[in-house]
């Protein structure tokens, strides 16, 4: 396992909980009213489990709500975004599965912070 990684993007923060050859687990915190980029990945799929808060998730243009205790899967190559629509910090666990997990496997289509 690699040393812990973390990031502090403008929408909140993330920390790698565990990384292996075929999967990576992150805790992701999203501040109220903030959202991640509308993005896709070529080398991994993702599975999200909400542990605190309420989210609006967009996958390939379709929106759905995700409450505490709910989860969903995002196929490799699907456009996706998560937004905190609650008044407290949204916390979810992201499990990535694939053959590469670098942050450079992010293709941003739209971004509220000028990173697209």
Domains and CATH numbers, the chain: 6-110 (2.60.120.10)
What is the token pair recorded at 21? 């050859």
Coil, strand, or helix at residue 116?
coil
Q: How many alpha carbons lie under 13 Å from residue 44 in its C-beta half-sphere?
A: 23
**Dist CA 35 CA 19 (whole Å):** 24
**Tens-place pLDDT, residues 4-34:** 588 899 999 999 999 999 999 999 999 999 9
Helix (H) or strand (E) holding 74: strand 71-74
Can you give the pTM of this predicted structure? 0.92
Residues 6+ apart with CB under 8 A from 23: 95, 96, 97, 98
pLDDT at 3 over 80: no
pLDDT at 5: 80
């Amino acid at each position: 396992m690699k040393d812990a990684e973390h990031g502090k993007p403008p929408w909140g923060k993330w920390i790698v909980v565990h990384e292996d050859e075929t999967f990576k687990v992150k805790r992701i915190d999203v501040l109220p009213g903030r959202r991640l980029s509308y993005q896709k990945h070529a080398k991994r799929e993702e599975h999200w489990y909400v542990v605190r808060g309420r989210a609006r998730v967009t996958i390939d243009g379709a929106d759905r709500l995700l409450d505490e205790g709910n989860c969903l899967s995002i196929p490799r190559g699907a456009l996706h975004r998560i937004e905190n629509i609650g008044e407290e910090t949204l916390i979810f666990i992201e499990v990535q599965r694939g053959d590469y997990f670098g942050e450079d496997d992010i293709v941003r289509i739209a971004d509220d912070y000028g990173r697209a």
